[in-house]
Amino acid sequence: MKYIETEIAGLWIIEPKVLSDSRGYFMESFKQEVFNQNVGKVDFIQENESGSSRGVLRGLHYQLAPYSQAKLVRVIEGTVLDVAVDLRKGSPTFGKYMAVELSGQNKRQFYIPQGFAHGFHVLSERAVFTYKVDNPYMPSHERSLRFDDPQIGIDWQITDPENVILSEKDKTAPLLAEADINYIY
Give the integer Cα–Cα distance in Å for 174 and 143: 9
DSSP lists the bridge partners of residue 112 as 71
The DSSP code sequence of 47-86 is EEEEEEETTBEEEEEEE-TTS---EEEEEEESEEEEEEEE
Instruction: Tell me whether residue 61 is one of the annotated catalytic residues.
Output: yes
**Strand 57-63 to strand 142-144: parallel, antiparallel, or no bridges (unpaired)?**
antiparallel
Closest-CA residue to 171 (of 81, 56, 34, 29): 56
Instruction: Tell me whether residue 131 is one of the annotated catalytic residues.
Output: yes
- Asked if 117 contacts 36 with a C-beta cutoff of 8 angstroms, the reply is no
Give the integer Cα–Cα distance in Å for 27 and 20: 9
The single residue of 3, 61, 67, 118 carrying the catalytic annotation is 61
The single residue of 62, 111, 131, 183 carrying the catalytic annotation is 131
> Sheet holding 126-133: strands in order across?
2-5, 12-15, 109-112, 71-77, 126-133, 46-53
Catalytic site residues? 61, 131
